[in-house]
Amino acid sequence: MNERIAKYDPSDEAISTYQEVGVVYLPDILDAEWIKHLAASIDEVVERDDLIVRNFSKIAETLVDPEKPAEPGSLQERLADKIGKATGRFLMGCGNWSKTQDLRALITHTCLGRIAGALMQSSEVRVHNDLMFCKEPGSLHRTAWHQDMSYWNIQGDQCLTLWIPVDVVDEGNGMMGYIRGSHRWQDEFKSNRIVSEITHEAAAGKTLTVEGHEDEFDIVYIPAKPGDIIAHHVRTIHGATGNTVSRTRRAAAFSYVGDDIRYFRRSFTPESFEGTNGDLLREPRHPVVWSAAG
């Protein structure tokens, strides 16, 4: 691990921004060696042919009926247009940190845990999960606006994601966007299909409708480069542009939990459930990676 991250502590300004806005940009945290290993891990994960890898390009095809014309302006119409033009894949792998040595070394590193602890204002930090993303050139599909809490069997306030790109990210290949202050909304929202705001029928909560109404929200898009980290709250509404250029966009998302997070079984979530409502998250699936007690 490079010397910078070994000594890095989020500034008071960064902590305040995270707490007030729900997202904060932390530049130049990881060095080139770590990014090289992380990029190799992402490539390995997303090319696996198993249940932990989701091909959202194919999922998009299941959401559109080719025999039935989509209603003008509908989510299905927007999907159908991209399906016919997309030349690349939008892939995601999840739950791999315990299976891959380099991922384990990075996600459990005390320094990332310390960053998470400072931003969340938590006395202890545990690993929650990991996600690996790849938007190939010409994959086109955007990441639909969503709230992470909708997909996870947890409840509480002290949970965040550290989003770490291994490629230069801009509007052309999948730049992340966030609705500022949305982590303070009292509502929880139905989980959607990620490639579209079309929701899972069994999901509970309100339906989130941002696409096509972006000017009604306080949205910030954040370009990033390898070594940067974008940290966002578990309730912050976020999404990403599609990849319309000839450059791949790969990124890892490491989620961490703090003191007040408990198991909470949701009506629908792709995440497996290993607890009773109200339980603390425990080893070995959720190891402690940082503690204020040392």
Is 142:242 a contact under the CB 8 Å cutoff? yes
Task: Give the helix ranges, DSSP H, for the chain.
Answer: 3-7, 12-21, 32-46, 56-62, 75-85, 101-107, 110-120
- The pair of structure tokens assigned to 220 is 């910030």
What pLDDT is stored for residue 69 in this prediction? Answer: 79
Mean pLDDT of 65-84: 82
Q: Which residue has the tokens 């997070």?
A: 261
pLDDT at 239 over 70: yes
- The pair of structure tokens assigned to 131 is 């996600």
- The pair of structure tokens assigned to 19 is 């707490």
**Residue 284, preceding peptide bond in cis (omega within 30° of 0):** yes
Mean pLDDT of 196-205: 88
For residues 73 and 261, which has the higher predicted lDDT (pLDDT)? Answer: 261
Superfamily of domain 3-279: q2cbj1_9rhob like domain (2.60.120.620)
pLDDT in tens, 163-190: 999 999 999 999 999 999 999 998 989 9
Alpha-carbon distance of 205 to 203, in angstroms, equals 7
Q: What is the pLDDT of the chain when averaged over all its residues?
A: 92
* Domains in the chain: boundaries: 3-279
pLDDT at 1 over 60: no
> ∠ at Cα 257 (251, 262), nearest 5°?
135
- The pair of structure tokens assigned to 132 is 């690996």
